[in-house]
Amino acid sequence: MDTLTIQYIIIAIVFIVAVYFVVKRLFPSKGKAGGCNKGCGCAVDQSKK
């Protein structure tokens, strides 16, 4: 491999890592959320039956 190919590989890795962190920042995981806001309709109250 020549040095230009190695440079392109390093740039691609840095770019992929940067995109990963931006996506992770914009779309936080649902596991840490701890629930929905009021009025979303996902938690159905069973006592209304």
Distance CA 48, CA 21 (A): 43
Residue 46 has a pLDDT of 56
Residue 43 has a pLDDT of 58
DSSP string over 1-45: --HHHHHHHHHHHHHHHHHHHHHHHHS--GGGT-SPPTTSS-S--
* C-alpha distances out from residue 13 to 10, 16, 19, 21, 33, Å: 5, 5, 10, 13, 30
* pLDDT tens profile 1-49: 899 999 999 999 999 999 999 999 998 766 655 556 666 666 555 565 5
Residue 28 has a pLDDT of 74
Residue 27 has a pLDDT of 86
